[in-house]
Amino acid sequence: MRLGEVLVRRHLLSAADVTVALERQRLNTGRLSESLIALGLMTTDQLVALAQDTPATPRTVAETGISHGNLFNLMLKFMRLESCEIMPEFAERMKLPLSVIQELMDDAVRRGLVQTLGSVQVGAATYVRYSLSAQGHAAAAEAVQQNLYLGPAPVSLRALQRQVLNQRLKNDRLDADTLRGGFEGLVVPEHYIDRLLPAVNAGRTILLFGPPGNGKTSIATRIATLFKQAVHIPYAFEVDGQIIKVFDASLHKLSVPDAKIAAIAEKGGLQLEAFDDRWVICHRPVAMAGGELTLEMLDLQYNHETKYYDAPLHVKALNGVFLIDDFGRQQVDPKDLLDRWIVPMENRIDYLKLNTGKSFSLPFDELLMFSTNAHPSDLMDPAFLRRIPYKIKLFAPTPEEYYRIFDLVAKANGLELTDEVFDSVVERLTTRTQFGLAYFQPKFICDQVVEACRCLNLSPRLTKVRAADALANLYVEIEDEQGAEPARLTGSPIRARANRARDRAEPDARFATPGLQPAAIQ
């Protein structure tokens, strides 16, 4: 990666700013960093800090931190399995600079494993073509037998450990406005903000518990998207000669789409400053596991056919968020699962083991969140509870909050919430039954009403009968008594408080944002 690309992917400058600096560099020569400073876009201290936090490009095989044999074998596999012939092809696939590839190729030529086939013109450049000799084919076949890993060269364990510490979660502190803004479209009481903010900024373990359907998963997933700093994720790393794959396209999302920096990449040759391409600049990762989680999934996953490892989910989530949802519903005993996390939670270090018996450690820097509908004392003993520094209970909504949610969701779906319908729903949930109010119910009701009206070719309309039908679909214990008349709540304190919340002249900015469709907390 060139300097301009790194600046854009880490959200330090816009693509337009870098383009201006590149034009100045073209006219005045020198380095891109000099143009950035001259234009006042970056300071020397900022560029120095960036260089310290970003993996530097290795110029020799020794500087990669990976054994010569592993890199050499990887190059031979690319020649045998993908018919790579010229230096840029190896550089692109192995994510290594030409100087390192040339060092490996020169060694292969000296050993008689590779021979030259003349040259080829690619654009304005001319490159030597290489191919495997008979002896080289045998060596490449042996490399394939060792493992089938065919991708970017791995980084060293030490480099990964260092980078995880450089980009800790605590470096990316949130303020109350950012946290509050992250919940736009949801009705989140202010006292939740007061409890969540220090918990998130501490970057330690959080336990969210309370009745089902009152926002635990929604809040956790929203929090996970609020961190702004980009992080460097390796494609893979090496331990004791073994390769462990980390980058997962389904989990690790590019901080800036490639299309937005295409113009910068075209002028990459101007920039001079370069960084290690074996790392991908991504948003902080967010991983989630539910009832499918097992203890085995928290270990290195060795594939006996490919003969390399896949990193477990929590390692892929380093420097990000790992949510264990529906805790207590896993196939493994909750106590056994909790015991697995004691050392990482307390010492901020995780230990993993290869099939060879070799153990190694990684910094455990991630926001570990447990979400459960069960009472914590039913899942963990007091000793473990003490190890979770932040335990936050999410309660059912108050009548005022429930009215606000219902009204916002109804409007977002083109429906009108009348007092009659609201009273009917509350009465069915709190007087006729003991289900109580929950944040998710208004969205469920409105979705059902809209779908029913659509299927019957009716204009969307929220009525007592349709709301009762929706509740009957939600809770089988509730009957759809279409002719029943619920007890009126008009004169009650609940109705009066809900009316006051509804009739406020100025909508609360925390709960309603123009142009954004509100949604109930799930």
The conformation of residue 431, written as its DSSP 8-state character, comes to I
Do 389 and 412 reside in the same domain of the chain?
A: no
Specify the residue for token string 């406005």. 177
Q: Is 158 helix (H, G, I), strand (E, B) or coil?
A: helix
What is the tens place of the pLDDT at every residue in 195-238? Answer: 999 999 988 899 999 887 777 878 887 887 888 889 999 999 99
Q: Which two tokens stand for residue 33?
A: 């960093």
419-426, Cβ contacts within 8 angstroms, sequence gap of 24 or more: 419/490, 419/495, 419/499, 420/464, 421/462, 421/463, 421/464, 421/467, 422/498, 423/486, 423/488, 423/489, 423/490, 423/495, 424/464, 424/467, 424/468, 424/486, 425/467, 425/471, 426/399, 426/402, 426/489, 426/494
Binning pLDDT at 50, 70 and 90, where does residue 80 land?
very high
Stretch 297-312: mean pLDDT, rounded? 96
What is the tens place of the pLDDT at every residue in 56-65? Answer: 999 999 999 9
**Nearest to residue 439, comparing CAs of 376, 519, 493, 512?**
519
Stretch 272-278: mean pLDDT, rounded? 88
Percent of the chain with pLDDT over 90: 55
CA 154 – CA 4 distance, rounded (Å): 24
Q: Which two tokens stand for residue 464?
A: 């007592």
In this prediction, residue 420 carries a pLDDT of 94
Do 425 and 362 reside in the same domain of the chain?
A: no
CA 58 – CA 39 distance, rounded (Å): 29
Torsion angle defined by CA atoms of residues 373, 376, 378 and 380, in that order, rounded to the nearest 10 degrees: 130
Percent of the chain with pLDDT over 70: 91
Is 518 a member of any domain? no
The domain that contains 91 carries what CATH number? Answer: 1.10.10.10
Binning pLDDT at 50, 70 and 90, where does residue 501 land?
very low
In sequence order, what E strands does 148-241 have? 155-156, 206-209, 231-234, 236-239
What is the tens place of the pLDDT at every residue in 372-398? Answer: 888 888 888 888 888 888 999 888 888
Chain centre distance of CA 467: 37
In this prediction, residue 342 carries a pLDDT of 87
In this prediction, residue 487 carries a pLDDT of 42
What is the tens place of the pLDDT at every residue in 334-354? Answer: 888 888 888 898 889 999 999
Q: Is the dihedral of CA 69, 74, 77, 83 positive or negative?
A: negative
Is 370 a member of any domain? yes
Please name every residue paired with 128 in a beta bridge, in sequence order, or none if there are none: 119
| H-helix or E-strand spanning residue 126 | strand 125-132
Query: Considering 153, 184, 219, which residue would you say is the last residue of a domain?
Result: 153
* Strand arrangement of the beta sheet that strand 390-393 belongs to: 286-289, 321-324, 367-372, 206-209, 390-393
CA 385 – CA 382 distance, rounded (Å): 5
Please say if the pLDDT value at position 505 is more than 70.
no
Do 336 and 407 reside in the same domain of the chain?
A: no
List the single range of 266-270, 321-325, 456-460 with lowest mean pLDDT.
Answer: 266-270
The domain that contains 338 carries what CATH number? Answer: 3.40.50.300
Side-chain-facing half-sphere of 221: CA atoms under 13 Å: 10
Do 239 and 341 reside in the same domain of the chain?
A: yes
List the single range of 78-87, 109-118, 162-171, 285-294 with lowest mean pLDDT.
Answer: 285-294
Is 516 a member of any domain? no
CA 404 – CA 402 distance, rounded (Å): 5
Please say if the pLDDT value at position 43 is more than 90.
yes
Please say if the pLDDT value at position 490 is more than 60.
no
Is 403 a member of any domain? yes
Torsion angle defined by CA atoms of residues 248, 249, 250 and 251, in that order, rounded to the nearest 10 degrees: 60
**Nearest to residue 360, comparing CAs of 205, 148, 203, 164?**
164
Do 384 and 415 reside in the same domain of the chain?
A: no
CA 455 – CA 27 distance, rounded (Å): 65
Is 161 a member of any domain? no
What's the mean per-residue pLDDT of the chain?
87
Is 53 a member of any domain? no
In this prediction, residue 1 carries a pLDDT of 84
Do 143 and 234 reside in the same domain of the chain?
A: no
Chain centre distance of CA 492: 46
Chain centre distance of CA 229: 12
Please say if the pLDDT value at position 85 is more than 50.
yes
Chain centre distance of CA 316: 9
In this prediction, residue 243 carries a pLDDT of 97
Please say if the pLDDT value at position 486 is more than 70.
no
Q: Is 375 helix (H, G, I), strand (E, B) or coil?
A: coil
Stretch 150-170: mean pLDDT, rounded? 96
Do 413 and 365 reside in the same domain of the chain?
A: no
Binning pLDDT at 50, 70 and 90, where does residue 517 land?
very low
In this prediction, residue 339 carries a pLDDT of 87
Please name every residue paired with 286 in a beta bridge, in sequence order, or none if there are none: 321
CA 20 – CA 147 distance, rounded (Å): 46
Please say if the pLDDT value at position 263 is more than 80.
no
Is 16 a member of any domain? no
Domain range for 119: 67-153
Binning pLDDT at 50, 70 and 90, where does residue 480 land?
low
Do 450 and 497 reside in the same domain of the chain?
A: yes
Query: What is the CA angle 101-103-104, rounded to 5?
Result: 65
Query: Structural domain tally of the chain?
Result: 3
Do 322 and 464 reside in the same domain of the chain?
A: no
Do 215 and 349 reside in the same domain of the chain?
A: yes
Is 383 a member of any domain? yes
In this prediction, residue 479 carries a pLDDT of 65
Which amino acid makes up residue 148? Answer: L
The conformation of residue 60, written as its DSSP 8-state character, comes to S
Phi then psi for 2, rounded to 5 degrees?
-90, 165
Stretch 129-151: mean pLDDT, rounded? 96
Do 144 and 210 reside in the same domain of the chain?
A: no
**Nearest to residue 285, comparing CAs of 310, 311, 319, 312?**
319
Do 357 and 295 reside in the same domain of the chain?
A: yes
